[in-house]
Amino acid sequence: MTSTTQARLLTRARTGDPRDDGPKILEHVLGWTLVVLLAVLVTRAGLT
């Protein structure tokens, strides 16, 4: 195998392996916090 082929194999696009997802609970908590914050700001601004 040439070094170019090895480099291409090592730098190929990731396919989204489930083990690479990281801490899902943190993503959910931060996502819902953002949703609630946005809802509060919209309500306070009187846009609803």
**23 has a pLDDT exceeding 90:** no
More confident residue, 30 or 14: 30
- Residue matched to tokens 């392996």: 17
More confident residue, 12 or 33: 33
For the chain, the distance separating the N- and C-terminal CA atoms, rounded to the nearest angstrom, is 63
CB–CB of 20/14 below 8 Å?
yes
Instruction: Sketch the domain layout of the chain as residue ranges.
Output: 23-48
Verdict on whether the full-model pTM lies above 0.75: no
User: Residues 6-28: what's their mean pLDDT?
Assistant: 68
Give whole-number Cα distances, 28 to 23, 41, 47, in Å: 9, 20, 26
Task: Read off the tokens for 24.
Answer: 């899902």
| Residue 30 binned pLDDT confidence (cut-offs 50, 70, 90) | very high
